[in-house]
Structure 1
Amino acid sequence: MPWLRVLMAYGLLLACTAVFFGPVLFMLSGSLKPDELVLAEAGTWRALVPESVSLDNYRSVFERVPFASYLASSLIINGLIVGLGLMVNAFAGYALARLRWWGRNGVLVLVLALLVIPFEAIAVPLFYQLSWLGWRDDHLVQAIPFVANPLAIYLFYSFFLGLPRELEEAARIDGAGVLRTFFTIVIPNSAAAFASVAIVLFLFHWGMYLWPLLMTTSESVRPLPLGIATFHTLPPLAWGDILAFGVLMVLPVVVVFVVFQRWFVQGVASVGVKG
């Protein structure tokens, strides 16, 4: 029966929504209730709906740890990764999609192969390499290794393949070179791709923990993921403070996604259709 299939489909979607949204609601609710009730009410419906709302946990976050310093470090690191990454990966994607040069197909295969290699597999060799060079404990060393991203290159490559060649050919007839064509024709027509890659890079690296843990010793350059871990070394262990920190850490991600959501959807749809 058609109505039964529809009912089952919506029931499955609601169940999936509850599974994914439940922890977020628990984090938000726990951040607004007294610390002694956070775990005491876990496993009941009251864990998701606080009886009374208090901002004490948020005030405690700013009193116990230098949250502003952690936030500034995260914004600097991710700003470098996104800003430099957009240009580097866009250049690489355009060169693979439009230019003809020796070894192009081999480089494309290498980019695709790098997609399946997790960062954890190269983290330790990269750590020893940069430590041997004496480059540690600053914002740049946490950002530069992630500027070139194989997924971002492939997203740009797929998008640029779908752009009409007539636009670039008209610019070249008018005397524009490759760089001028890229900046005046390609970039203005690729806002969706740039927004998609910006969100992907931001989401991937905002919560990165392993690399900052390996490369930093000074609190002044530690990002938010290391900041939330410091609560486990600050007695007493206050879960309300940890959940409040988590909410504050997630807010910039939500803001970025909401601002660029329309372009992100357009970019993913374009890659899916044209790639």
Structure 2
Amino acid sequence: MATVNADNRGLRLAVRYGVLTLIALIFIFPLVFMVVSSLKPDFQLLSDTGSLRAFLPVGDVSFNNYAAAFDRAPVALFVFNSVFVTGATVLLSLFLCSLCAFSFVFLEWKGRGVLLSIILATLIIPFETIAIPLLLIVSKLPWIGLEGFEIGWLNSYRVQIIPWIADGLTIFLFVQYFRDLPNELIEASRVEGASWWQIYRRVVMPLAGPVLATAAILKFLVMYNQYLWPLIVVQQEEFRPVMVGLGYYFQLNPAWGEIMAYLTVITVPVLAFYLILQRAFIASIASTGVKG
């Protein structure tokens, strides 16, 4: 009987891993197609799309598309701009949104429930409805920088960062996670004489690894894939992100090999960011919160 049960468990485990492997291959195929296509000239790329050769590095394979892609557009500059804007926004967003959520969960003040409801209600407002009003606002805002006082935020990094620091989804994620933390930790810290800032920095945030990883990945993907807002507020090439830079390859005749090479290059920061936070992200999915 024990042998039969062991065989059944082994069969179920094999089936489970087989299904997971199949799902993984389905998600990997687009990446494989992108990388392989970036190594082929356009005529071969298009002719191979109707067969399995599209996923195989066969035929006239070279790195010519990468050289042509870097010649056509300042790819390194676009990648730097996107990584800088995205990284700055993610860091500022995690800090400010976690502070906001901390005040909603642990501090007692009038109207916090109403204000939280208003913040969550902003999630249903599409960006297209506020794009023009937001553009009018940022075009008239003052700024004091290294070059002195100026009016307007257009054609800058700040116009791509500051409007997106706080958002309802990130605040909601932190609120839900903080609510699951045991109140005994907060009460004990208050009895010990800790200030609210010390509780936030030394008690709450060290336990917030899973939600930090989740919020960081979601924010990173949103910011790195920004297209409409940078297209509206950035006209100078030195501030353009990768998604706006993609338009360089669709002028006149699209160069599909160069497009695939460009997509491969700009995907690297996304994969690197995800791999860095992978363990904490998986923990956040598996975790149901810390219970007291």
TM-score above 0.5, yes or no: yes
- For 2:280 and 2:25, the matched residues in 1 are separated by 27
Cα 1:19–1:272 change in 2 (3 A) is: farther
| CA deviation vs aligned residue, 1:112-148 (integer Å, no higher than 9, x gap) | 2122222222222212222243221101101111100
Does 1:256 find its partner at 2:273?
A: yes
Cα 1:270–1:109 change in 2 (3 A) is: farther
Deviation at 1:177, TM superposition (A): 0.9
- For 1:206 and 1:26, the matched residues in 2 are separated by 22
Does the aligned pair in 1 maintain the 2:181–2:289 contact within 8 Å? no
- For 1:74 and 1:8, the matched residues in 2 are separated by 41
Secondary structure of 1:115's aligned partner? helix
| CA deviation vs aligned residue, 1:230-259 (integer Å, no higher than 9, x gap) | 1112x5531111001001111111111111
Secondary structure of 2:272's aligned partner? helix
Secondary structure of 1:63's aligned partner? helix
Does 1:228 find its partner at 2:235?
A: no
Does the aligned pair in 2 maintain the 1:212–1:226 contact within 8 Å? yes
Gaps spanning 5+ residues in structure 1: where?
none
Secondary structure of 1:32's aligned partner? coil
Counterpart position of 2:77: 69
Cα 1:245–1:179 change in 2 (3 A) is: same
- Equivalence map 1:1-275=2 (5 Å): 20-52=27-59, 53-133=61-141, 134-233=152-251, 236-270=253-287
Secondary structure of 2:235's aligned partner? coil
The AA in structure 1 aligned to 2:126 is P
Cα 1:195–1:138 change in 2 (3 A) is: same
- For 1:213 and 1:271, the matched residues in 2 are separated by 40
The size of the alignment, in residue pairs, is 272
- For 1:251 and 1:168, the matched residues in 2 are separated by 41
Deviation at 1:227, TM superposition (A): 1.0
Which segment is superposed worse, 169-178 or 221-230? 169-178
Identity of aligned residues (%): 37
Does the aligned pair in 2 maintain the 1:70–1:223 contact within 8 Å? yes
- For 1:270 and 1:108, the matched residues in 2 are separated by 24
Which segment is superposed worse, 49-58 or 236-245? 49-58
The AA in structure 1 aligned to 2:207 is N
- For 2:52 and 2:184, the matched residues in 1 are separated by 60
| CA deviation vs aligned residue, 1:170-215 (integer Å, no higher than 9, x gap) | 2211211111110111111112221211111101111110000000
Counterpart position of 2:147: none
Deviation at 1:73, TM superposition (A): 0.7
Larger radius of gyration: 2
Does the aligned pair in 1 maintain the 2:210–2:283 contact within 8 Å? yes
- For 1:43 and 1:8, the matched residues in 2 are separated by 31
How well do the aligned residues superpose, as a CA RMSD in angstroms? Answer: 2.6
| CA deviation vs aligned residue, 1:71-130 (integer Å, no higher than 9, x gap) | 111111101210110111101111112212111111121122122222222222212222
- For 1:55 and 1:48, the matched residues in 2 are separated by 16
- For 1:227 and 1:63, the matched residues in 2 are separated by 13
- For 1:166 and 1:205, the matched residues in 2 are separated by 37
The AA in structure 2 aligned to 1:245 is Y
Secondary structure of 1:51's aligned partner? coil
Cα 1:135–1:271 change in 2 (3 A) is: farther
Which segment is superposed worse, 131-140 or 176-185? 131-140
Deviation at 1:9, TM superposition (A): 9.3
Cα 1:271–1:152 change in 2 (3 A) is: farther
Cα 1:29–1:244 change in 2 (3 A) is: same
